[in-house]
């Protein structure tokens, strides 16, 4: 962990550039589109932007397949555009966190091209190659996007590993030259003035010696040999020393399959400031995993979040998030995107902005954007969804798309990738052209302009709560305690710091509820609520309406 800790006080906003704001009419968001909206970000009150990849890329995985780490994808703009955006953000005291993809590159990256054409050359050992029978992959590892993690390359006459798409070959981190090349790249961006990195699938860099078969019944076949692998701490230690040390930056490792014990090794005295775990957003997986919908309940959600809150207290620092570009929309998933859209979106905002940790808001979450509809597989753009659905059909698990459509509309990453809804103009004011993915049908109701005109609105609630967090030390640094852990409806916790105590009490359900909120004193005063007529002083028992959230302050 670095000695600079501005990121503990920061609220971060994630921009998925492809879907944020298009200024040149090609239907794809761009960097000038971000620059144009810096005032909007400033008004929201956020302190940093995490920008999903904008590097040159063939875009098979929307930029997570990088073809050149030091140039900007032309559809997004130029390096001059980037510099202007960075300057504008900094003028507004907003920091910029880049997304660094270091586990794999695009197959169009020059390194891969040279690696496949010349096994004995400088780049020959840059990727994970295995020779052998072209009909028999080297092991049974699976790609996160479905199917084998290996593809046979006719040119090199060898197999290469790709834990994600076939166009995303895994780098060979055992090779010191690969590590040096990635560290150089990262230093290059930091020297340019960016303020940190979100590091893509960072705990997958180290693959087990000999690449042994994984448990064929595992959730992600092979994971025991590449998640938190044997040399991961060595690699991240080096990364820390070569890149992060002595800089005033933030580092966030994205870490699939991470548990709390392992997380403690990465943050605190470990090499990173923050990690993104996924346990809390995996609670609604079904019996057959991600492409199946399972039941979730509030006690389950509270218990996972509580475990992370307590598990890192006094040791490291949490990230708090419900959405990103890989997750469906939280109001559709955990809330009620119809009858209680405003109430449940703001109840979620309350949790996001008052738990202990650095909150990450994903674009559109602050206006309560919802899951979309995908009528056919042709309307789906996400490589993860398309490949997995095709595999389920090929394997005979499902007959056709229609059978899995409800799951896609619940879970697909495309749900969060539909264009940002700025207004009720054509294409939600996102583009003058044809958007690369269809705009959500509800854009005429849910959009920034209408949120700005309406009071109260999800957007105004976000603005208020971000400001409140900023001016309330207990909400940032305060210790955390959960109350009523077994209550199926109420989410109640306190944040306490040097005599100041904040009590957060939320009725996370669509039913009324009357309950005594034990930690609340008679002298408490209301700081925020998503119901305008919530009383300033709490009478006991408290009467909650559906999804009512209240934040009180009291002396302690």
Catalytic residue IDs: 200, 254
Find the binding residues for ligand TEU in span 382-411 (CB under 6 A): 384
Q: Among residues 146 and 270, whose Cβ is nearest to ligand TEU?
A: 146
Give least dist CB 355 to ligand TEU, A. 21
Question: Which distant-in-sequence residues (6+ apart) come within 8 Å of 142 by Cβ?
Answer: 148, 149, 214, 220, 221, 222
List b or e across 433-447, with b for residues whose CB sees 16 or more CB atoms inside 10 angstroms. eebbbbbbebbeebb
- Two structure tokens written together for 30: 């761009």
- Two structure tokens written together for 163: 């834990």
- Two structure tokens written together for 311: 């598990």
Q: How does strand 158-161 pair with strand 150-153?
A: antiparallel
Give least dist CB 384 to ligand TEU, A. 5
Does 331 engage in binding with ligand TEU (CB under 6 A)? no
Q: Among residues 37 and 325, whose Cβ is nearest to ligand TEU?
A: 325
Residues 144, 190, 202, 361: which binds ligand TEU (CB under 6 A)?
A: 144
Residues 169, 256, 328, 519: which binds ligand TEU (CB under 6 A)?
A: 256
Q: Among residues 95 and 387, whose Cβ is nearest to ligand TEU?
A: 387
Does 101 engage in binding with ligand TEU (CB under 6 A)? yes
Which of 436, 337, 469 has the alpha carbon at shortest distance from 47? 469
Q: Among residues 15 and 468, whose Cβ is nearest to ligand TEU?
A: 15
Residues 7, 50, 64, 374: which binds ligand TEU (CB under 6 A)?
A: 64
Do the Cβ atoms of 479 and 496 come closer than 8 Å?
yes
Give least dist CB 201 to ligand TEU, A. 5
Do the Cβ atoms of 16 and 369 come closer than 8 Å?
no
Give burial (CB, 10 Å; 0-12/13-18/19+) of 400: exposed
Cα gap 228→48, rounded to integer Å: 28
Cα gap 6→248, rounded to integer Å: 9
Give least dist CB 132 to ligand TEU, A. 26
Does 164 engage in binding with ligand TEU (CB under 6 A)? yes
Cα gap 483→505, rounded to integer Å: 9
Give least dist CB 177 to ligand TEU, A. 22
- Two structure tokens written together for 160: 């290469």
Q: Which CA distances in Å does 326 have to 123, 384, 466?
A: 31, 10, 24
Q: Among residues 328 and 478, whose Cβ is nearest to ligand TEU?
A: 328
Does 326 engage in binding with ligand TEU (CB under 6 A)? yes
Give least dist CB 153 to ligand TEU, A. 20
Q: Among residues 46 and 144, whose Cβ is nearest to ligand TEU?
A: 144
Find the binding residues for ligand TEU in span 195-234 (CB under 6 A): 200-201
The total number of residues shown for the chain amounts to 556
Helix (H, G, I), strand (E, B) or coil at 161: strand
- Two structure tokens written together for 199: 């590091």
Q: Among residues 47 and 61, whose Cβ is nearest to ligand TEU?
A: 61
Do the Cβ atoms of 506 and 350 come closer than 8 Å?
yes
Q: Which parts of 61-136 fold into alpha helices (H)?
A: 79-91, 110-117
Q: Among residues 102 and 472, whose Cβ is nearest to ligand TEU?
A: 102
Number of residues near ligand TEU (by CB under 6 A): 12
Give least dist CB 379 to ligand TEU, A. 19
Give least dist CB 439 to ligand TEU, A. 21
Q: Looking at beta carbons, which residue is closest to ligand TEU?
A: 64
Q: How does strand 358-362 pair with strand 490-497?
A: unpaired
The single residue listed with the structure tokens 């109840």 is: 347
DSSP 161-221: E-SS-TT-PBB-TTSHHHHHHHHHHHHHHHHHT--EEEETTGGGSPPPTT-PPPPTTSSST
Q: Which residue ranges make up the site for ligand TEU (CB under 6 A)?
A: 61, 64, 101, 144, 164, 200-201, 254, 256, 325-326, 384
């Amino acid at each position: 962990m670095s000695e600079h800790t501005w990121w503990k006080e920061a609220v971060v906003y994630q921009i998925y550039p492809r879907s944020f704001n298009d200024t040149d009419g090609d239907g794809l968001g761009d960097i000038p589109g971000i620059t144009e909206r810096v005032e909007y970000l400033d008004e929201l009150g956020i302190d940093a932007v995490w920008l999903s990849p904008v590097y040159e890329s063939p875009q098979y995985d929307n930029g997570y397949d990088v073809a050149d780490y030091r140039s900007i994808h032309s559809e997004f703009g130029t390096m001059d555009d980037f510099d202007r955006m960075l300057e504008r953000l900094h003028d507004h005291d907003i920091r910029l966190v880049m997304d660094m993809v270091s586990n794999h590159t695009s197959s169009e990256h020059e390194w891969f091209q040279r690696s496949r054409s010349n096994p004995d050359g400088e780049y020959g050992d840059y990727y994970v190659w295995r020779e052998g029978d072209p009909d028999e992959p080297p092991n049974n590892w699976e790609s996160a996007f479905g199917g084998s993690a290996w593809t046979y390359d006719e040119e090199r006459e060898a197999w290469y590993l790709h834990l994600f798409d076939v166009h995303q070959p895994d780098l060979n981190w055992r090779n010191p030259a690969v590590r040096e090349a990635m560290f150089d790249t990262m230093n290059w961006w930091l020297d340019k003035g960016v303020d940190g990195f979100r590091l893509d699938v960072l705990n997958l860099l180290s693959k087990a010696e000999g690449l042994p078969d994984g448990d064929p019944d595992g959730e992600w076949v092979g994971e025991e040999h590449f998640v938190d692998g044997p040399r991961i701490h060595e690699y991240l230690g080096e990364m820390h020393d070569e890149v992060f040390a002595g800089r005033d930056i933030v580092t966030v490792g994205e870490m699939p399959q991470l548990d709390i014990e392992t997380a403690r090794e990465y943050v605190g005295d470990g090499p990173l400031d923050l990690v993104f775990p996924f346990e809390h957003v995996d609670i609604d997986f079904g019996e057959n995993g991600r492409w199946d919908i399972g039941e979730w309940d509030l006690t389950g959600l509270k218990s996972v979040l509580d475990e992370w809150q307590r598990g890192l207290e006094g040791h490291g620092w949490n990230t708090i998030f419900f959405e990103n570009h890989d997750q469906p929309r939280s109001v559709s998933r955990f809330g009620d995107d119809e009858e209680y859209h405003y109430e449940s979106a703001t109840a979620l905002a309350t949790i996001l902005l008052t738990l202990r940790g650095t909150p990450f808001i994903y674009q559109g979450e602050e206006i309560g954007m919802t899951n979309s509809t995908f009528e056919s597989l042709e309307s789906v753009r996400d490589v993860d969804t398309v490949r997995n659905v095709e595999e389920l059909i090929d394997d005979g698990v499902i007959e056709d798309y229609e059978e899995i459509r409800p799951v896609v509309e619940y879970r697909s990453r495309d749900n969060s990738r539909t264009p940002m809804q700025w207004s009720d103009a054509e294409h939600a004011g996102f583009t003058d052209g044809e958007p690369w993915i269809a705009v959500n049908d509800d854009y005429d109701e849910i959009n920034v302009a209408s949120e700005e005109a309406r009071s109260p609105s999800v957007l105004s609630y976000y603005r208020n709560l971000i400001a409140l967090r900023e001016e309330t030390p207990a909400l940032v640094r305060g210790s955390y305690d959960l109350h009523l852990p077994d209550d199926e409806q109420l989410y109640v916790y306190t944040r306490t710091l040097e005599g100041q105590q904040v009590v957060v009490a939320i009725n996370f359900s669509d039913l009324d509820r009357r309950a005594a909120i034990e930690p609340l004193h008679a002298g408490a005063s209301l700081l925020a609520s998503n119901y305008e007529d919530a009383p300033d002083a709490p009478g006991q028992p408290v009467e909650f309406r559906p999804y009512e959230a209240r934040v009180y302050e009291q002396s302690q």
